[in-house]
Amino acid sequence: MDKHKVRGGILLLLALGVVAYIFNQTPQEQTVETLATPVETTVEKEKPLPPPVERKPMVSRGESGGESKRYKEYEMEVTAYDLSYESCGKHPNHPEYAVTASGKKIGVDIFEEEGIIASPKNFSFGTKMEVEGWGTGTVWDRGGAIKYDEKTGRYRLDIFFSDRAKALDWGRKIVKVKVFQDAE
């Protein structure tokens, strides 16, 4: 074999190894480049979400009459989330953007004023909850960090805000949460 071909092959393999190493070491991020000329896309635009709405607390009437609801009260770690990429990891053109784990789409099937909650699997979809300082909502979503924390002895929840500033303002709080069950 020719010395130059062997040396060239070795250099090529070395270069490929360096490229593979660099590729695996750099964070995998999506980048957005600005183009000089506009490009037409076929992405459907989302309907704007309605403005944020204040939710009222649920009324739990006792045996004295009216609708009776039973509940269990927990102290939970509650974090706010919104539809931003930073919060959900999806851009508006992603097919699963705004789709909850229950399959319902925020702004189409369910709306912020109904109170959207992401909870651990311990609470089934459709479970009503009242979060202190936020109002009432229904479990329609899940999340990777939404689980029972054995270290603190608390469940974690996420509550939805359509307004990013309000979600950031809520941040993460430890509050009382009533988990309602319809009376039998």
The ranges assigned to domains in the chain are 69-182
Per the DSSP assignment, residues forming a β-bridge with 70 are 181
Which residues, 6+ apart, have CB-to-CB distance to 78 below 8 Å? 131, 134, 156, 157, 158, 159, 170, 172, 173, 174, 175, 177
For residues 135 and 56, is the Cβ–Cβ distance under 8 A?
yes
* Residue 8's pLDDT band (cuts 50, 70, 90): low
Sign of CA dihedral 96, 97, 100, 106: negative
Mean predicted confidence (pLDDT) in 120-146: 94
How much is the mean pLDDT over the chain?
78
Tens-place pLDDT, residues 14-42:
666 655 555 565 444 444 444 444 444 44
pTM of the model: 0.63
CATH T-level topology, domain 69-182: Barwin-like endoglucanases (2.40.40)
